[in-house]
């Protein structure tokens, strides 16, 4: 438990931490948007991939990995804490800009998308879980709405920025310099500025005699069934 970190739930009470998690989910959106705008054109024009089916395979690899890890991200966040899983998610994205800049073949792009899928599953899940921890039951819907709005705005902004950079310079490496800056900054924020919030969920459970801390199946914010440690997350 973080010393000096208020035990009372509420967005206002933890506005600084809540804002940081909003910033991080925006960065998560920027990360995927930065890749989506440039990579298909990169595959066609630079790597010589002519098949639309092959180019589309990078979306399939991303979706499969993200969907699989969504099943476990919430459980890991309950067992080990939100922050360690969040940091791990951003750590997996660190090699991504390097892979995209130097990839000699489409197979390397697929590897990068697997890392991106891990990143998206862990960082987005932990960002929304932390917001729910902070917000409490009365502001949970607001927290989820803010999370989704900033996350998908990040996707659009990331795609627009890298598209503009690619149009004015080249398909690589310049657009992926922006991606590298986003990933490194998000990784550093996760390590040095983010505080653990799982104790807020534990306190909420302890304060309500109608809930018991049991393993239960629930639905996460992105619609994937997963195990939750805390029954309050049946609502998320």
The pLDDT of residue 26? 98
pTM: 0.83
Provide the pLDDT confidence category of residue 5 given band limits of 50, 70 and 90: low
The full set of domain ranges for the chain reads 15-195
The pLDDT of residue 205? 65
pLDDT at 215 over 50: no
Query: What's 68-134 look like in SS3?
Result: HHHHHHHHHHHHHCHHHHHHHHHHHHCCHHHHHHHCCCHHHHHHHHHHHHHHHHHHHHHHHHHHHHH
- For the four alpha carbons of 159, 160, 166 and 172, in that order, the dihedral sign comes to negative
Q: Say which range, 14-28, 92-106, 129-143, 199-213, has the weakest mean pLDDT.
A: 199-213
Provide the pLDDT confidence category of residue 224 given band limits of 50, 70 and 90: very low
The pLDDT of residue 225? 42
Distance of alpha carbon 33 from alpha carbon 227, whole angstroms: 29
* DSSP 8-class letter at 44: H
Q: Which two tokens stand for residue 25?
A: 């989910």
The pLDDT of residue 223? 40
Q: What is the CA radius of gyration of the chain?
A: 19
Give residues with Cβ within 8 angstroms of 122, minimum separation 6.
69, 73, 85, 86, 88, 89, 92
Give residues with Cβ within 8 angstroms of 62, minimum separation 6.
113, 114, 116, 117, 120
CA-closest candidate to residue 22, choices 181, 193, 204, 210: 193
Three-state SS at 182? helix
The pLDDT of residue 208? 52
The pLDDT of residue 227? 39
What CATH superfamily is the domain 15-195?
MFS general substrate transporter like domains (1.20.1250.20)
CA–centroid distance for 43 within its chain: 25
Provide the pLDDT confidence category of residue 2 given band limits of 50, 70 and 90: low
Which uninterrupted H or E stretch holds 8?
Answer: none
Per-residue model confidence as pLDDT tens digits over 154-206:
999 999 999 999 999 999 999 999 999 999 999 999 999 999 999 888 776 65
Per-residue model confidence as pLDDT tens digits over 41-93:
999 999 998 887 777 777 888 889 999 999 899 899 999 999 999 999 999 99
Question: What's the CA angle centered on 107, arms 184 and 124, to 5 degrees?
Answer: 40
Give residues with Cβ within 8 angstroms of 180, minimum separation 6.
97, 98
Provide the pLDDT confidence category of residue 226 given band limits of 50, 70 and 90: very low
Question: What is the rounded average pLDDT of the residues 131-156?
Answer: 95
């Amino acid at each position: 438990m973080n010393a000096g970190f208020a035990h009372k739930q509420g967005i206002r009470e933890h506005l600084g931490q809540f804002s940081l998690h909003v910033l991080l989910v925006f960065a998560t959106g920027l990360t995927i948007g930065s890749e989506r705008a440039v990579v298909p054109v990169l595959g066609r024009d630079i790597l010589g991939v002519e098949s639309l089916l092959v180019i589309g395979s990078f979306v399939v690899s991303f979706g499969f990995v993200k969907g699989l890890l969504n099943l476990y991200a919430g459980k890991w966040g309950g067992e080990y804490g939100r922050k360690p899983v969040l940091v791990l998610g951003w750590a997996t994205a660190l090699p991504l800009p390097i892979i995209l800049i130097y990839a000699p073949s489409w197979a390397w792009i697929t590897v990068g998308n697997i890392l991106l899928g891990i990143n998206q599953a862990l960082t987005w899940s932990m960002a929304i879980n932390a917001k729910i921890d902070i917000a409490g039951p009365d502001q949970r819907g607001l927290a989820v709405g803010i999370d989704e709005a900033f996350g998908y705005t990040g996707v659009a902004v990331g795609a627009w920025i890298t598209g503009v950079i690619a149009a004015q310079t080249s398909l690589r490496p310049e657009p992926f310099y922006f991606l590298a800056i986003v990933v490194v900054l998000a990784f550093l924020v996760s390590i040095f500025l983010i505080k653990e919030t799982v104790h807020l969920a534990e306190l909420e459970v302890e304060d309500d005699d109608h809930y018991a801390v049991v393993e239960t199946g629930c639905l996460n914010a992105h619609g994937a069934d997963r195990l939750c440690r805390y029954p309050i997350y049946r609502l998320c």
